[in-house]
Amino acid sequence: MGKRLTCGLMSKSSKNAPGRESRSDNRERLEQEILDAAKRLFAVRGFGGVSLDHIAREVGTAKQNLLYYFGSKEGLYRRVLHGVLDVWLSDMEAITHHADDPATALRKYIAGKLRFSRDHPYDSRVYANEVISGTPLFAQEIRDRVLPALQADIAVFNHWAEQGLCRPVDAAHLMVVLWASTQAYADFASQICLVLGKPALEEQDFVAAESLLVDMVLKTVLASPVQPS
């Protein structure tokens, strides 16, 4: 719901009132707590397995507060997913931002994707749950936000191939493979832990995955592969 706006100039006393700033801070804090709790629950239980009552109990607030900020469970879910895409898409910019240096672009892209899995596992799992279930609530948003970023990356790969900097590759399938291999460290972390015989993934596991993936991709994609740094 929108916030009420007032017309005219604020008096100095109202502009500097600490109580107003405190209430604003509290509202922002509560909104973020709701988003964080919803993200955790949607990641574990999926959209259908979570109710507003579940989220309210997790936060320790009234259900009415969730409705005030987000309108409905679907509105809250969409807000969570948009936040996930904000972070996810920022990592996808590495290729277009380093289009003049394929090796650097690929290194930074892989590092960013693994960092996302390490630092934002719940984000990744919420997105994975939506996709695995057939994108019933977020398909258009994915088309609108993810596909343009993917097309921009594909155009860079095609440019590299034309310049003789990389082998001609099916860039769309390459990107899908990179998404799967990096996001597995969040979405299937429990499976990887079982395979590695440890209770939780450690920093060294992400370092090892990054080194291996960079080595594989550079040797496969670049016309004259370089040793990963």
More confident residue, 175 or 13: 175
Distance CA 34, CA 80 (A): 10
Are 76 and 55 in contact by the 8 Å Cβ rule? The answer is yes
181-185: long-range contacts (C-beta < 8 A, 24 or more apart)? 181/209, 181/213, 182/110, 182/113, 182/114, 182/116, 182/117, 182/209, 182/213, 183/113, 183/116, 183/117, 183/124, 183/128, 184/117, 185/114, 185/117, 185/118, 185/209
Phi/psi for 162 (5° steps) reads -65, -30
Q: Which of 160, 48, 47, 142 is nearest to 98 (CA)?
A: 160
Q: How confident is the model over 19-40, as pLDDT tens digits?
A: 555 777 899 999 999 999 999 9
Q: pTM here? A: 0.85
| Band of pLDDT at residue 229, cut at 50, 70 and 90 | low
Q: Which of 48, 189, 10, 190 is nearest to 116 (CA)?
A: 189
Residue 6 lies in a domain: no
pLDDT of residue 154: 97
Confidence check: pLDDT of 183 > 80: yes
| DSSP label at residue 166 | B
Q: How confident is the model over 140-179, as pLDDT tens digits?
A: 999 999 999 999 999 999 999 999 999 999 999 999 999 9
Confidence check: pLDDT of 182 > 70: yes
Q: Which of 34, 152, 39, 47 is nearest to 89 (CA)?
A: 152
Confidence check: pLDDT of 46 > 80: yes
Q: How confident is the model over 121-143, as pLDDT tens digits?
A: 999 999 999 999 999 999 999 99
Q: Which of 125, 139, 111, 70 is nearest to 215 (CA)?
A: 111
Q: How confident is the model over 54-94, as pLDDT tens digits?
A: 999 999 999 999 999 999 999 999 999 999 999 889 888 99
Q: The CATH number of the domain where 66 resides is what?
A: 1.10.10.60
For the chain, how many structural domains are there in total?
2
Residue 195's alpha-carbon distances to 26, 114, 205, in angstroms, are: 44, 18, 12
Within this chain, do residues 50 and 104 fall inside the same structural domain, yes or no?
A: no
Residue type, 3: K
Domain encompassing residue 134: 80-221
Residue 7 lies in a domain: no
Residue 2 lies in a domain: no
Q: How far is CA 209 from the centre of its chain?
A: 19
Quick one: average pLDDT of 98-114?
A: 96
Within this chain, do residues 122 and 58 fall inside the same structural domain, yes or no?
A: no
Helices (H) and strands (E) in the chain, counts: 11, 0
Write the Ramachandran bin of 71: left for phi over 0, alpha for psi from -120 to 50, otherwise beta.
left
Q: How many CA atoms lie within 13 A of 98 on its CB side?
A: 14
Residue 12 lies in a domain: no
Residue 8 lies in a domain: no
